[in-house]
C-alpha cells in the first residue's frame, strides 16, 4: 500500500495526515498547536511540523509529501538563509497604517487592477511596508521573502538551520505556487508572474522571491537528517490553505465554499481573474491553474467562543439555545467585529449589540444573535461574489463551525441556493496530500467526497435586514 502525506501549517496549528494513494483514505494523523500570538518566530512553525510528524508516528513509510498553509504571512531571510526577524501573521492588525499608506501612494484601484487584490492589512505587501517602517536594520538584512508554506517546503528540502541542513544560502531553491503568489499583492493573474515594482515599492528594495511552479510540478525531494521524515522522497508544489481545500473538494464553476474557522472565508472558481473595484473580492489563484475569487472576514468561529463563554454553556448548548429563539431574535442584532474586521475594512471596530430591550434581551435571543450575526457576515461575502457576476448554484459549508445545527439552520434561512456539507475530513491536509500524490504520479488522484444536503427552508429576510440596519446605524455601510 503506497502512502502520501499532506501537511497544513495553519494559523492555529500544524496538522499532518497520512493517506492511501489509491483511495485518499486517512490512515493516521498528528497535530501540534501554534502559539496564539500574531507575531511569531518562524522556527515555531518548523518545530510544530516536526512535533506533528512525531505524533503521526513518523513518515518513514510515506512515498511523497506536500505542504499547505496560512496565506500572506511573510518570512524574511538574510543572504545566508537565516531568519531576520519575527513574522507578523496575516491577521496581525498592526500593519493597517502601512496598508493605508500604500493605497494612498499608488491608488487603491491600481492595486486591484494590477493584482486583483483590494490591498488589505493581511496581504504580504503590507507586511513588507510594515518591516520597512518599523525595522530598518531588518529590512537592510533581508535578501529573500517567502511565505510560510514556501519556507517549510524549503526546510523539508534540507535548507536553513539545524540537522540535515544543506548549508547556508540556498535562496534560489525557494519555491512557491500560483495560489500563494497570488496572495502577496505583488503577483498578476494576467501574467502569472510577480510584479517586481510593487514588491520594491512596498519594501523599498529588491529581494529574491520563490520560483513559481506549476500545479503538477515537484518542488524537490526531502533532505537528510530530518527527524521522522525519510530523505529523497518527492515534495509537491504545495499551496495556500483555501486552494488546497478547493482542490480536495473538487469544486467546479457555479459552486462556492463557505469555511467557518478562525476566519470566515467564501470562495468560488473562475477561469479568469477578477478585478472587484468595490474592494471586497480578492482574486487569488487556485491549485489547478484556474482562479479562486475569495472574500474573507477576521471574525468567525471565535464569535461562538465569546457567546458560549458569556452564557456559560457549551457549543452544543449555544446552538440549542439559538434554535429556541425566533428568526431575527426579536430584533436583537449583533455585529460580531470583536477583532476589528477585514471585510468590510474596519480594523478598529469592535463587536456591538443593537436594539436590546427588556423584552428581547434573553439567553435564547442572545445566542441566536451571536449565530445570526456571524452567518450574516458570511452571507454578505456571497453577495460580494454575486456582484462580480460569479454565480453560486450550490454552497459547500465546511470548517469547525459547520457542524452547528444553528449555523446550518440560519444559513439555509438566508440563502436560496442548495447548501451541502461534505463528509467530515481535514480538507486542507487532504488537498496537500493530493499534491504529494501528483508529485509521485504526475497527476492529481481522483478521491471521492460524500455530501449531505441540508433541508431547504423559507427565507427569513429580516435577519439580513437587521444586520444591514445595524451597519448603517454605526456608519459602516
pLDDT tens-digit series, residues 260-315: 987 899 999 999 999 999 899 999 999 999 999 999 898 999 999 999 999 999 99
Eight-state DSSP code of residue 19: E
Asked if 196 and 311 sit in the same domain, the reply is: no
Write the CA distances from 378 to 87, 186, 372, 467, integer angstroms. 28, 27, 10, 11
Cβ-based neighbours of 220, under 8 Å, separated by 6 or more: 153, 157, 173, 175, 234, 235
| C-alpha cell at position 442 | 504526475
| C-alpha cell at position 117 | 487584490
- The residues that bridge with 221 in the sheet, in sequence order, are 234
Look at residue 283 and give its three-state secondary structure: strand
Q: Are 250 and 450 in contact (CB under 8 A)?
A: no
Active site residue 330: no
Cβ-based neighbours of 130, under 8 Å, separated by 6 or more: 88, 94, 95, 98
Asked if 93 and 185 sit in the same domain, the reply is: yes
Asked if 148 and 269 sit in the same domain, the reply is: no
Round the CA-based radius of gyration of the chain to a whole number and report it.
22
What range defines the domain where residue 186 resides? 3-237
Q: Find, among 242, 139, 141, the residue nearest to 199 by Cα.
A: 139
Q: Are 406 and 329 in contact (CB under 8 A)?
A: no
Ranges assigned E (strand) in 355-407: 394-398
Q: How would you classify the pairing of strands 144-147 and 62-69?
A: unpaired
- Could you tell me if residue 436 is inside a domain? no
Q: What pLDDT is attached to residue 477?
A: 74
- The residues that bridge with 297 in the sheet, in sequence order, are 264
117 CA to centre of own chain = 15
Low-confidence ranges of the chain (pLDDT < 50): 163-167
Tell me which of 179, 205, 237 is where a domain ends. 237
The 10 Å CB-count burial string (b at 16+, else e) for 190-227 is: eeeebbeebbebbbeeebebbebbebbbbbbbbbeebe
* d(C-alpha 413, C-alpha 396), whole Å: 15
Tell me which of 168, 203, 237 is where a domain ends. 237
Find cell 500544524 and name the residue.
14
Asked if 183 and 274 sit in the same domain, the reply is: no
- Could you tell me if residue 387 is inside a domain? yes
Q: Find, among 173, 197, 202, 169, the residue nearest to 77 by Cα.
A: 169
* d(C-alpha 331, C-alpha 125), whole Å: 41
Asked if 205 and 320 sit in the same domain, the reply is: no
Cis peptide before 170 (omega within 30 of 0): no
Q: Which of 92, 177, 241, 425 is catalytic?
A: 241
Asked if 212 and 262 sit in the same domain, the reply is: no
CATH code (residue 355): 3.30.420.40
Asked if 368 and 393 sit in the same domain, the reply is: yes
| C-alpha cell at position 168 | 547556508
265 CA to centre of own chain = 7
Q: Find, among 437, 382, 387, the residue nearest to 411 by Cα.
A: 382
Q: How would you classify the pairing of strands 264-268 and 255-260?
A: antiparallel
Cβ-based neighbours of 119, under 8 Å, separated by 6 or more: 99, 102, 103, 108, 111, 112, 125, 126, 185
Query: Degrees (nearest 5) of the Cα angle 118, 124, 128?
Result: 115
- How many domains is the chain built from? 2
* d(C-alpha 269, C-alpha 255), whole Å: 7
Look at residue 145 and give its three-state secondary structure: strand
Asked if 70 and 110 sit in the same domain, the reply is: yes
- Could you tell me if residue 102 is inside a domain? yes
Asked if 149 and 295 sit in the same domain, the reply is: no
Orientation angle between helical segments 241-249 and 427-441, nearest 10 degrees: 80
* d(C-alpha 366, C-alpha 51), whole Å: 40
Asked if 266 and 371 sit in the same domain, the reply is: yes
Q: How would you classify the pairing of strands 175-177 and 211-213?
A: parallel
Q: What pLDDT is attached to residue 167?
A: 47
Amino acid at each position: 500500500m503506497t502512502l502520501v502525506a499532506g501537511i497544513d501549517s495553519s494559523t492555529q496549528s500544524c496538522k499532518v495526515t497520512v493517506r492511501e494513494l489509491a483511495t485518499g483514505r486517512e490512515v493516521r494523523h498528528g497535530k501540534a498547536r501554534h502559539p496564539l500570538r500574531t507575531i511569531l518566530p518562524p522556527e515555531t512553525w518548523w518545530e510544530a511540523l516536526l512535533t506533528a510528524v512525531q505524533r503521526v508516528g513518523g513518515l518513514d513509510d510515506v512515498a511523497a509529501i506536500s505542504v499547505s498553509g496560512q496565506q500572506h504571512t511573510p518570512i524574511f531571510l538574510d543572504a545566508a538563509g537565516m531568519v531576520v526577524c519575527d513574522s507578523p501573521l496575516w491577521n496581525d492588525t498592526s500593519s493597517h497604517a502601512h496598508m493605508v499608506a500604500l493605497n494612498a501612494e499608488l491608488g487603491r484601484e491600481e492595486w486591484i487592477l494590477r493584482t486583483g487584490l483590494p490591498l488589505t492589512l493581511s496581504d504580504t505587501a503590507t507586511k513588507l511596508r510594515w518591516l520597512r517602517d518599523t525595522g530598518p536594520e531588518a529590512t537592510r538584512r533581508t535578501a529573500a521573502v517567502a511565505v510560510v508554506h514556501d519556507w517549510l517546503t524549503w526546510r523539508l528540502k534540507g535548507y536553513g538551520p539545524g540537522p540535515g541542513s544543506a548549508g547556508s544560502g540556498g535562496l534560489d531553491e525557494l519555491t512557491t505556487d500560483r495560489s500563494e503568489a497570488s496572495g502577496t499583492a505583488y503577483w498578476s493573474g494576467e501574467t502569472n508572474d510577480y510584479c517586481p515594482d510593487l514588491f520594491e515599492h512596498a519594501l523599498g528594495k529588491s529581494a529574491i522571491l520563490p520560483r513559481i511552479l506549476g500545479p503538477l510540478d515537484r518542488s524537490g525531494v526531502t533532505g537528510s537528517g530530518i527527524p521522522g521524515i525519510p530523505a529523497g522522497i518527492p515534495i509537491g508544489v504545495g499551496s495556500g490553505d483555501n486552494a488546497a481545500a478547493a482542490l480536495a473538494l473538487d469544486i467546479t464553476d457555479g459552486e462556492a465554499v463557505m469555511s467557518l474557522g478562525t476566519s470566515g472565508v467564501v470562495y468560488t472558481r473562475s477561469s479568469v481573474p477578477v478585478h472587484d473595484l468595490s474592494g471586497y473580492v480578492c482574486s487569488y489563484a487556485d491549485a489547478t491553474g484556474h482562479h479562486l475569487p475569495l472574500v474573507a472576514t477576521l471574525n468567525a468561529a471565535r464569535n461562538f467562543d465569546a457567546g458560549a463563554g458569556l452564557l456559560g454553556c457549551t457549543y452544543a448548548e449555544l446552538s440549542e439555545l439559538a434554535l429556541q429563539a425566533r428568526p431575527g431574535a426579536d430584533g436583537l442584532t449583533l455585529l460580531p467585529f470583536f477583532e476589528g474586521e477585514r471585510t468590510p475594512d474596519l480594523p478598529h471596530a469592535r463587536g456591538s449589540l443593537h436594539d436590546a430591550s427588556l423584552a428581547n434581551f434573553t439567553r435564547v435571543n442572545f445566542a441566536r444573535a451571536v449565530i445570526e450575526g456571524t452567518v450574516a457576515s458570511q452571507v454578505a461575502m456571497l453577495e460580494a461574489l454575486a456582484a462580480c457576476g460569479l454565480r453560486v448554484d450550490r454552497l459547500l459549508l465546511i470548517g469547525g463551525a459547520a457542524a452547528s445545527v444553528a449555523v446550518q439552520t440560519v444559513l439555509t434561512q438566508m440563502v436560496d441556493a442548495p447548501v451541502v456539507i461534505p463528509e467530515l475530513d481535514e480538507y486542507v491536509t487532504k488537498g496537500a496530500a493530493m499534491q504529494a500524490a501528483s508529485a509521485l504520479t504526475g497527476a492529481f488522484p481522483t478521491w471521492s467526497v460524500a455530501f449531505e444536503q441540508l433541508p431547504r427552508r423559507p427565507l427569513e429576510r429580516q435577519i439580513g435586514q437587521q444586520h444591514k440596519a445595524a451597519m448603517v446605524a454605526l456608519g459602516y455601510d
